C-alpha cells in the first residue's frame, strides 16, 4: 500500500538536518524529571566513553605494546585491577546515584496535584481532566494541556492492550496496562509543545500513535481551563454559530446522518459515541490521527475520506461513499469546533 503522505523533501543539507535534531530530546529536557535523567545520562555516557577508551588502549598495548609493557599486562593482576576492582568501585557509585535518583523521581504523590486520566486506546489517547473529587470534567483526545512550573499527576491505564506513555523532554516512560492504574508525575518548566509517542508495541499502526503535551503559562492555562469548563455553553454556542454558515450546517447534518456520532462525541450535541476520540474541540488540536497530520481542512477531508490510506489498520472505516462536497462540508463543520 502506498502511503498517502509522501516523504517531505528537505531543503536543508543533511548536516543541518542532523544538527536540527541536536540536542536529542532525551538530552534536551524541559522539566525537572527529564532534567535529572539527562544529567545521569551524561554521566553514564562519559563513563562509557572513558571505559571504552581504556579498553581500546589495553587492547592496543596487548597487541602492539613493547615487550616489557605487554609482559606486565599479561597476568592476572590486570584482571583483578581493571576487570574487578575498577568496575566494582565505579558501579557502586553509579548504583547509589541511580537508586537515589529513582527515589526522588518516584517520591509519593501528595494528592494536591492536578490530575489527568490518560487511557491508551488502539491507536490513540483518551484524555480526561479530573476535578479534586476524581470526576472527569473536561474530555479530550491526543493532546494534554498543562500549566508550567506545576507538577501534574497522570493516571495511566489502558482499555485494550498494553501501551506506554512517553514524552522524552518531560519524563521517562511508564506503561499503560489493562487492569492497572499507574501514576506518573510530569512537570514542564517552559511553555511549549512537547511531542510524545506510544512506546510499547501495541500492534498494527503502533508506529503512528503520537500525541503532544502543551505547556501553558499559568495565566494561559487558567484561561484555557475556564474556556473548556464552560464547555456546554461554549460548545452549544460554537455549534449554533455553525448554523450561520450554510456549508457548516450541511456538514453538521451529515455528521449525524453518516453515523459519525456512533463513535464520536461532540459536547453539547447528541453526538455521544465513545469508541473514537472526542471531537468537541477537534478544531483546536494541532494534529489529526493521533499526532501524525497537521490539522487543516485538506487533511480533515483526506482523513475522513480514507484514513486507512494514511494510518493503515486504524479503527475508523473509510468513507468513500461520501462525495467530495460532502467531505468538505463535514470538514468545514469540524473546523468550527474550536
Partner 1 sequence: MTSETGFDTRLYDNFPTREERPQGELEELERIWRAPTGWGRLTIVNNNYVGLWYVAAAFLFFLLAGVLALAMRVQLALPLNGILPQETYNQFFTMHGTVMMFLFAVPAVEALGVMLLPQMLAARDLPFPRLSAYAFWAYLVGGLCFFASLFFGLAPNGGWFMYPPLTSMAYSPGINADFWLLGIGFIEISAIAGAIEIIVGVLRTRAPGMSLDKMPIFAWAMLVFACMIVIAFPAVILGTLLLEFERAFNWSFFDPTRGGDPLLWQHLFWFFGHPEVYIIFLPAAALVSTMVAGLAKTPLVGHNLIVLAFLATGFISFGVWSHHMFATGMPRLSVGFFSAASTAVSVPAGIQVFSWIATFAAGTPRYNTPTLFVIGGLVTFVIGGLTGVMVAMVPFDWQAHDTHFIVAHLHYVLIGGMVFPLFAAFYFWIGMTSRRALSERLGKWSFWLMFAGMQITFLPMHLTGLMGMLRRVYTYLPGRSWEVTNMISTVGAFILAAGVVVFLIDLARNFRFTVEDDAGNVYGGGTLEWLPTGLYSTRSIPVIRSRYPLWDDPELCKIVEEGRYLLPNSATGRRETIVTSPLRAEPEYLQIMPGPSVWPLLAAVFTAGFFVILTIQAYTPALISGVLAVLAVIRWLWETDRPVAAQHADVGGGIMLPTYVTGPRTHGWWAMVILLIVIAMILLMSVFSYLYLYGIHPSFWRSPPDNLWLLPILSGYALAAGLPLLARGLLKREKTTLWTPPVLMFVAAVALVVAVALEFRSWRSIGLDPQLSGQAAMIYAFLSLQGTMTAISMLMTGYLMARNARGLIVRPHNNTFDLTTMFVVYSAAQGGFIAALTHLFPGAV
Partner 2 sequence: MRTWAYLLGGLVVWTVHFFGLYIFGSVFPQTTLARILSGLLTLAALAADAILLWRAGTASMAQAGREELGRWTDYLAALSAAISLIAVFWQGLPVLIA
In the region spanning residues 28 to 87, those forming contacts with partner 1, defined by CB under 8 A, are 34, 36-37, 40-41, 44-45, 47-48, 51-52, 55-56, 58-59, 61-63, 65, 70-76, 78-79, 82-84, 87
Q: Does 92 bind partner 2 (CB under 8 A)?
A: yes
Q: Does 179 bind partner 2 (CB under 8 A)?
A: no
CB atoms within 10 A of CB 135: 9
Q: Does 15 bind partner 2 (CB under 8 A)?
A: no
Of 35, 113, 155, 160, the residue at the interface with partner 1 (CB under 8 A) is 160
Please report, in angstroms and rounded to a whole number, the separation of the first and last CA atoms in the chain: 34
Beta strands in the chain (DSSP E): 114-121, 124-130, 136-141, 143-147, 152-158, 163-165, 174-176, 182-186, 192-197, 210-216, 287-288, 293-294
Of 52, 69, 102, 159, the residue at the interface with partner 2 (CB under 8 A) is 102
Say if residues 161 and 122 touch (Cβ distance below 8 Å): yes
- DSSP secondary structure string, 246-258? HHHHHHHHHHHHT
Q: Does 96 bind partner 2 (CB under 8 A)?
A: yes
Q: Does 199 bind partner 1 (CB under 8 A)?
A: yes
Q: Does 292 bind partner 1 (CB under 8 A)?
A: yes
Q: Does 10 bind partner 1 (CB under 8 A)?
A: yes
Complex with partner 2: residue 59 or 96, whichever CB lies closer:
96
Q: Does 44 bind partner 2 (CB under 8 A)?
A: no
Complex with partner 1: residue 1 or 321, whichever CB lies closer:
1
Q: Does 159 bind partner 2 (CB under 8 A)?
A: no
Say if residues 139 and 265 touch (Cβ distance below 8 Å): yes
Whole-number minimum distance, CB 63 to partner 1, in Å?
A: 6
Give the span between the Cα atoms of 287 and 284, in whole angstroms: 9
Q: Does 95 bind partner 2 (CB under 8 A)?
A: yes
Return the closest-CA partner of residue 186 out of 225, 144, 228, 218.
144
CA separation, residue 141 to residues 194, 208, 257, 274 (Å): 15, 15, 23, 11
Q: Does 100 bind partner 2 (CB under 8 A)?
A: yes
Grid-cell match 475520506, residue found: 305
Of 2, 8, 66, 103, the residue at the interface with partner 2 (CB under 8 A) is 103
User: How many chain residues bind partner 1 (CB under 8 A)?
Assistant: 97
For residue 90, the SS3 value is helix
Q: Does 54 bind partner 2 (CB under 8 A)?
A: no
CA 318 to chain centre: 26
Positions touching partner 2 (CB under 8 A) are: 88, 91-92, 95-96, 99-100, 102-103
Amino acid at each position: 500500500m502506498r502511503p498517502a503522505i509522501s516523504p517531505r523533501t528537505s531543503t536543508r543539507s543533511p548536516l543541518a538536518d542532523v544538527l536540527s535534531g541536536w540536542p536529542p530530546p532525551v538530552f534536551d529536557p524541559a522539566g525537572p524529571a527529564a532534567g535529572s535523567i539527562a544529567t545521569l545520562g551524561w554521566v553514564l555516557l562519559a563513563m562509557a566513553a572513558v571505559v571504552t577508551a581504556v579498553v581500546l588502549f589495553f587492547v592496543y598495548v596487548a597487541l602492539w605494546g613493547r615487550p616489557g609493557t605487554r609482559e606486565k599486562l599479561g597476568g592476572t593482576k590486570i584482571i583483578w585491577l581493571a576487570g574487578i576492582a575498577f568496575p566494582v568501585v565505579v558501579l557502586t557509585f553509579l548504583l547509589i546515584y541511580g537508586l537515589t535518583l529513582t527515589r526522588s523521581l518516584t517520591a509519593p504523590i501528595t494528592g494536591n496535584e492536578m490530575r489527568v486520566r490518560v487511557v491508551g486506546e488502539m491507536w490513540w489517547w483518551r484524555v480526561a481532566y479530573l476535578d479534586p473529587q476524581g470526576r472527569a470534567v473536561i474530555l479530550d483526545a491526543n493532546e494534554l494541556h498543562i500549566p508550567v512550573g506545576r507538577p501534574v499527576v497522570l493516571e495511566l491505564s489502558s482499555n485494550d492492550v498494553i501501551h506506554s506513555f512517553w514524552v522524552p523532554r518531560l519524563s521517562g516512560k511508564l506503561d499503560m496496562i489493562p487492569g492497572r492504574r499507574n501514576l506518573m508525575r510530569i512537570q514542564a518548566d517552559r511553555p511549549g509543545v512537547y511531542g510524545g509517542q506510544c512506546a510499547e508495541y501495541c500492534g498494527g499502526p503502533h508506529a503512528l500513535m503520537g500525541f503532544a503535551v502543551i505547556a501553558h503559562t499559568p495565566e494561559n492555562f487558567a484561561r484555557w481551563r475556564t474556556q473548556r469548563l464552560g464547555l456546554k455553553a461554549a460548545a452549544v454556542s460554537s455549534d449554533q454559530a455553525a448554523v450561520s454558515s450554510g456549508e457548516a450546517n450541511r456538514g453538521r447534518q451529515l455528521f449525524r446522518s453518516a453515523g459519525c456520532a456512533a463513535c464520536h462525541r461532540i459536547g453539547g450535541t447528541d453526538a455521544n459515541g465513545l469508541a473514537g476520540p472526542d471531537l468537541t474541540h477537534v478544531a483546536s488540536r494541532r494534529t489529526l490521527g493521533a499526532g501524525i497530520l497537521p490539522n487543516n481542512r485538506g487533511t480533515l477531508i483526506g482523513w475522513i475520506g480514507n484514513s486507512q490510506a494514511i494510518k493503515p489498520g486504524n479503527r475508523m472505516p473509510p468513507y468513500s461513499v461520501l462525495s467530495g462536497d460532502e467531505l468538505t462540508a463535514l470538514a468545514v463543520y469540524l473546523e468550527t469546533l474550536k
